[in-house]
A and B are shown apart, each in its own frame.
Chain A
Amino acid sequence: MHHAHIDKFSFMDSPVHRLDSRVKLLVALVFTAMVISLPGTSPGILACYAIGPFTILVLGKIPLRFAFKQVLLVSPFVLVLALSCPLYDKTPVMAAFGPWLGRITVGWMRCFTIIAKFIVTMLALMALVSTTRFSDLLAALQRLGVPKVLIVQLGFLYRYIFVLIDSAHHILRARESRRLRNLGFKAELKIAASMLGSLFIRSIDTAYRINLAMQGRGFDGKWRSLSKLQIRSCDVFFALTAVSFMLALQFFIKPVLQ
């Protein structure tokens, strides 16, 4: 079965793809932290921050449509939170966005800021995962001191989530092919519980067989890896440019609320 992989463009080649994964990961983390720490009333500066991930996506030849589609896929969770803000705070304020000036409530201002922060940070995340192979991200995390157990777990999650999704699809299809009438909520719930149980048992079986495969290849509980990460001058240049960009934006912050 074919899945819509979030990292399907990470196997391409571009100057951004060739950058060291540790540098990209650290820049993405600092960028996200800075965006999140911006005051809740500064959409103007957020628009400037968006230039960062856009530049990376364009230089990495990642289709913007793809990036926005991924952002849209996870947006409902944030939209619920954001759209509840206008209900709680209806204090009127005057807001300026560049040359435009208008009356707005603090709640709406917060709503726009949450959505803007979400879009900018998600675009930064998409820029990272679309230009960095997952194996390199794991290697970067390992080199940055993340516990190996966590990295192994992440590796297995990435490898087997698709196998698990396939299994779930097969079970659902088998159920659908024999579902000739609606059995009512209670019966359907019981069937769903059985399907989940079946999926759980399959996962345990798979884990057992993976363990056999690992032991068969000499695994003794110690995780070893061949890491080929190397910081080059272009990585230093990228890191300096990114930091300068973020510092410049921080320096020029002007609260939108007047």
Chain B
Amino acid sequence: MSKAIEIENFSYHYPDGTAALSDITLTVEKGQRVALIGPNGAGKSTLLLAMAGFIKGNGKVRIDGLEINRKNLKRIRTSIACCLENPDDQLFMPRLFDDVAFGPLNMGLETEQIKSRVSNALQTVGLAEMADKASHHLSAGQKRAAAIATVLSMTPSIITLDEPDGSLDPRNRNNLTKLLAGLSQTLIIATCNMNFAAALADRAILIDDGCVVADDIAAKIMMDSELMTAHGLEVPNKIR
């Protein structure tokens, strides 16, 4: 397996000097589904931002073998796509079609290619009929699926998702689990919901206080009740 993400000794401090990430070193293989677990404020979202090149710290981050720097950033952004925690932040255009087309347009694709990508992405998330709808007319579950469609249309090889199950009811959460399970991309899912993580991930990385505490097979980490409790988490009801 080749490497999708490589992070070497990465540290990041907030502008006020607080350490957000300390000496993070990890590698994610292509096609892996990784759950980034940890309590609130552990540094999961910050690590996702670092992976997408939104924040600069000390250390190296490589995406598909390319080191994140100003020169490579445009190419990297076509490899790694991020879904933010709040879908309202992701859906900023007047209608869904334009939101899903936003990425392909910026990639400089031809009109027909863009239309085909938008149609495929919306089909994948089950919103093909909603293309002309305004984003604020969608339900919470539809917004989440739409946010995923906005990155799918860019056909990235890696997708990072920040708390994708947040504020979803069980039915919508199950739909989302099925949708994500059907994707072939490398997935990095930051979540506090262990049942959701257990249903999707092959591997889990436990982060607390900005450091990697454990990195192993998802089932192995999540079944360690002592470890989970020590870091403010819980053992899931069912392991995949």
Contacts and interface: CB of A to CB of B under 8 A. Distances in A.
B107 interface: yes
Interface stretch (B32-40, B75-83, B119-127): B75-83
A219 interface: yes
A226 B77 contact: no
Interface string A153-167: 001101110110000
Contacts of B135: 159
A135 B106 contact: no
**Which of A155, A218, A226 is most buried by chain B, counting CB atoms within 10 A of its CB?**
A218
Interface stretch (A52-60, A72-80, A205-213): A205-213
B105 A225 contact: yes
A84 B103 CA distance: 53
Interface string A133-146: 11100100000000
Contact of A218 (B98, B103, B132): B103
Given A159-B92, A217-B154, A218-B78, A224 B106 contact: yes
A135 B49 CA distance: 30
B102 interface: yes
A220 interface: yes
B54 interface: yes
A146 B89 CA distance: 26
Interface in B39-55: 49, 52, 54
Interface string A1-23: 00101000001000000000000
Interface string A41-79: 000000000000000000000000000000000000000
A215 interface: yes
Contacts of A147: none
A11 B92 CA distance: 19
Contacts of A156: 92
B142 interface: no
B94 A134 contact: yes
A33 interface: no
Contacts of A226: 98, 101, 105, 111, 114-115
10 smallest CB-CB distances across A and B, nearest first, come from: A218-B106, A217-B103, A135-B94, A209-B89, A224-B105, A135-B95, A213-B90, A162-B136, A216-B82, A134-B94
Interface of B: 49, 52, 54, 74, 77-78, 81-82, 84, 86, 88-95, 98, 101-103, 105-107, 111, 114-115, 132-137, 150-151, 154
Given A159-B93, A159-B136, A212-B49, 11 more contacts: A135-B134, A159-B94, A160-B88, A209-B89, A212-B82, A213-B90, A217-B81, A220-B74, A224-B105, A226-B98, A226-B115
26 contacts: A133-B134, A135-B95, A135-B134, A158-B94, A159-B94, A159-B136, A162-B136, A163-B88, A206-B89, A209-B89, A210-B89, A212-B49, A212-B84, A214-B102, A216-B54, A216-B77, A216-B151, A217-B81, A217-B103, A217-B154, A218-B74, A218-B77, A218-B107, A218-B154, A220-B74, A226-B101
Interface of A: 3, 5, 11, 133-135, 138, 155-156, 158-160, 162-163, 206, 209-210, 212-220, 224-226
